[in-house]
Amino acid sequence: MRYSFTLGVLLAIGLTSCDAIEEDPTIYHVGVVLSLTGPQTSNGVEILAGIQLAQEEILNSALLGEAELELTVYDDKSIPDTSLHRFARLIEEDDVPVILGPTSSAAARAITSTIDNHGVVALSPNSAALGLGAATPYLFRSLLTVERVIPSGIVVSHRHLNYTRVGTIVNEADAFSQSSYDQVIATLARFPDVSVVEEISYERDPSSSDVPDISAALSAMDTAGVDAIFVCGLSPDRIGVLMQAHAAGITDIPLIAPYLSISDAAQLNRMVPGAAEGVVTFHVWLAASTHPRSLTFLRNYRDEHGEEASDYVARGYVAMNVLANALAQIEAFEADEIRNALARTRDLDTVFGSFSFDEHGDALYDPVVARMQDGAFVLFE
């Protein structure tokens, strides 16, 4: 499915020809590929809302001068192969030099060769698996990757929770989940007082949100006397595993779910009241942030949508602003110009704080570690 937006309003006809771009060089035509249906629907829809809010603010500012910023949006249905096809369509038919997306690390891995072969830039708001940026100079990621989030999260959480006997749970069929698990294991190995004593692995059908029944394995993990459990997975995995853990009576053992989002926790608590209480997250941003850019973002989103912004909305908002900052520096709307401008991003003031890209196009800023208390994430100091 395709959508085209100017100032967040649906257009009947999207700009799709290279000739149109060349006739009016003040139009920046940007592709977007997100998961708007399927298991990752809520993530993709919220990311798109953040992109559109940023688009509107950018066009009402002086950042791009008189230029227009148009989006052509495709749904990849939460399927990596479909994401690849949507990227190919944007590149070959819509002739865009830059695409915001995709939603998942599995999809980012799927599109890497295509963007590299065609020399088209992709900026993913939501991919965090290790090593993908090193595969091509055309992939950028505005979400902190696992090697930026998990080691510091373990240092802080270990200091607060003093765990020594750890259990792990991972969806081994997913690229991000496996990458998170690998980083957890590698980091815990640096702590001589910590042992991984129980492990659970499963495979979730990527077309479904349902996590297989692991209740017996969870009971065995509880009986083994673990004093912390790491949950490595995507949103459906985190929610499904935490629900099963709550049902199994695991409420006194700290559950640590890297990247557990505000949206995940809220959905979990709606489904099973109190199930997210006490869960620890390693993350990139919290709605309690007092950063001025964050406060403005929260206010503007609340004014427009009548509800609080989630961290997925923030991810889309930051990605669009990072791209717009690069567009403001280019002389021609061409992929290499955009790539070089993105690569030069240093200390950009964003909702996430001071933002830079490293040499592989992966984001650099400060992560956060927090615990759910009384329905809200509270920072570990």
Q: Encode pLDDT of 186-228 as tens digits.
A: 999 999 999 999 999 999 998 899 999 999 999 999 999 999 9
Query: What is the distance between the alpha carbons of residues 174 and 153, in angstroms, rounded to a whole number?
Result: 21
Residue 76, pLDDT > 50, answer yes
Same domain, 177 and 237: yes
Same domain, 140 and 8: yes
Q: What is the DSSP string of 130-170?
A: TTGGGG-TTEEE-SPPHHHHHHHHHHHHHHHH---EEEEEE
Please give the pLDDT value at position 340: 98
Residue 381, pLDDT > 90, answer no
* pLDDT one-digit tens code per residue, 304-326: 999 999 999 999 999 999 999 99
Same domain, 15 and 90: yes
Residue 79, pLDDT > 90, answer yes
Query: Taking residues 155-160, what's their average pLDDT?
Result: 96
Query: Residue 258: is the preceding peptide bond cis (ω within 30°)?
Result: no
Beta strands in the chain (DSSP E): 2-6, 9-10, 27-34, 68-75, 98-100, 121-124, 139-141, 165-171, 195-202, 228-232, 255-256, 280-283, 348-350, 353-357, 363-364, 368-373, 376-379
Same domain, 46 and 103: yes
- From 248, 267, 283, the end of a domain falls on 283
Same domain, 73 and 139: yes
Query: Taking residues 13-28, what's their average pLDDT?
Result: 50
Same domain, 168 and 223: yes
21 pLDDT band (50/70/90 cuts)?
very low
- Determine, yes or no, domain membership for 379: no
- Determine, yes or no, domain membership for 222: yes
Please give the pLDDT value at position 375: 86
- Determine, yes or no, domain membership for 277: yes
Please give the pLDDT value at position 2: 54
Give the domain extent around 332. 2-144+290-364
3 pLDDT band (50/70/90 cuts)?
low
Same domain, 158 and 136: no
Same domain, 255 and 304: no
- Determine, yes or no, domain membership for 337: yes
8 A C-beta contact, residue 138 and residue 121 = yes
20 pLDDT band (50/70/90 cuts)?
very low
Residue 25, pLDDT > 60, answer no
- Determine, yes or no, domain membership for 185: yes
Please give the pLDDT value at position 249: 94
Among 364, 285, 255, 234, smallest CA distance to 50 is for 285
Longest alpha-carbon distance in the chain? 69
- From 237, 264, 283, the end of a domain falls on 283
Please give the pLDDT value at position 16: 37
> What's the CATH code of the domain at 295?
3.40.50.2300
Same domain, 195 and 234: yes
Same domain, 67 and 122: yes
8 A C-beta contact, residue 365 and residue 354 = yes
Opening angle at CA 123, ends 178 and 314, nearest 5: 85
- Measured CA to CA in angstroms, residue 316 lies from 3, 48, 96 at distances of 16, 6, 19
- Determine, yes or no, domain membership for 317: yes
- Determine, yes or no, domain membership for 375: no
Same domain, 85 and 151: no
The model carries a pTM of 0.90
* pLDDT one-digit tens code per residue, 161-186: 999 999 999 999 999 999 999 999 99
Beta-carbon contacts of 1 under 8 Å, excluding residues fewer than 6 positions away, are 36, 37, 74, 75
- Determine, yes or no, domain membership for 314: yes
Q: How many domains does the chain have?
A: 2
Q: Tokens 């995507």 appear where? A: 234
Query: Taking residues 115-122, what's their average pLDDT?
Result: 98
Same domain, 252 and 294: no
Among 51, 52, 55, 117, smallest CA distance to 84 is for 117
Please give the pLDDT value at position 17: 36
- From 283, 301, 323, the end of a domain falls on 283
Query: What is the distance between the alpha carbons of residues 281 and 46, in angstroms, rounded to a whole number?
Result: 19
